[in-house]
Amino acid sequence: MDKRNTKQKAAIRDAFSEADRPLSPEEALSCALEFHPTIGIATVYRNIQTLVQEGWLTPVVIPGQPPRYELSGKEHHHHFQCNKCGKLYDLKGCFAQTKQRLPKGFSTTGHEFFLYGNCANCNAGVHA
């Protein structure tokens, strides 16, 4: 595991910290370029894998899509994906109250819950 703290790695950390939402590697690159203008996509992928191994980032699995990544250590939460721009946003808390809906004798070990729709920027016609 590569524990070095390079300028590129710092730029990727800053990108995730400032975005405060799950990012794809391409979104992380776009944000990281503000901090380190010569960073490339291969460097982003390599550092994301290192940050996941170090426990700093957590993959967010989206059905039928490549994973996004978010800061580790957040409380249990779910996600909203915009149908127009494709951005993924955190939803605080848990909306999936499954206990009352389980058949008798069933138990859960976890759950996934995604909401889909249009984000505020897309609804307002703003493309950020």
φ and ψ at 97, to 5 degrees? -90, 90
Strand order in the sheet with 114-117: 88-92, 77-82, 114-117
Nearest residue to 51 via CA among 19, 73, 79, 81 = 73
- pLDDT one-digit tens code per residue, 14-46: 999 999 899 999 999 999 999 999 999 999 999
- Other Cβ atoms less than 10 A from the Cβ of 51: the count is 21
Predicted TM-score (pTM) of the model is 0.78
Per-residue pLDDT tens over the stretch 63-118:
888 999 999 988 888 888 899 998 989 888 776 665 567 788 887 777 777 788 99
Of the candidates 1, 64, 65, 9, the one whose C-alpha atom is nearest the C-alpha of residue 36 is 9
Residue 99 is classified by DSSP as G
Q: Tokens 């940050």, residue?
A: 51
**Ordered DSSP codes for 14-59:** HHHHHH-S-B-HHHHHHHHTTT-TT--HHHHHHHHHHHHHTTSEEE
- Chain length of the chain: 128
Question: CB of 13 within 8 A of CB of 56?
Answer: yes
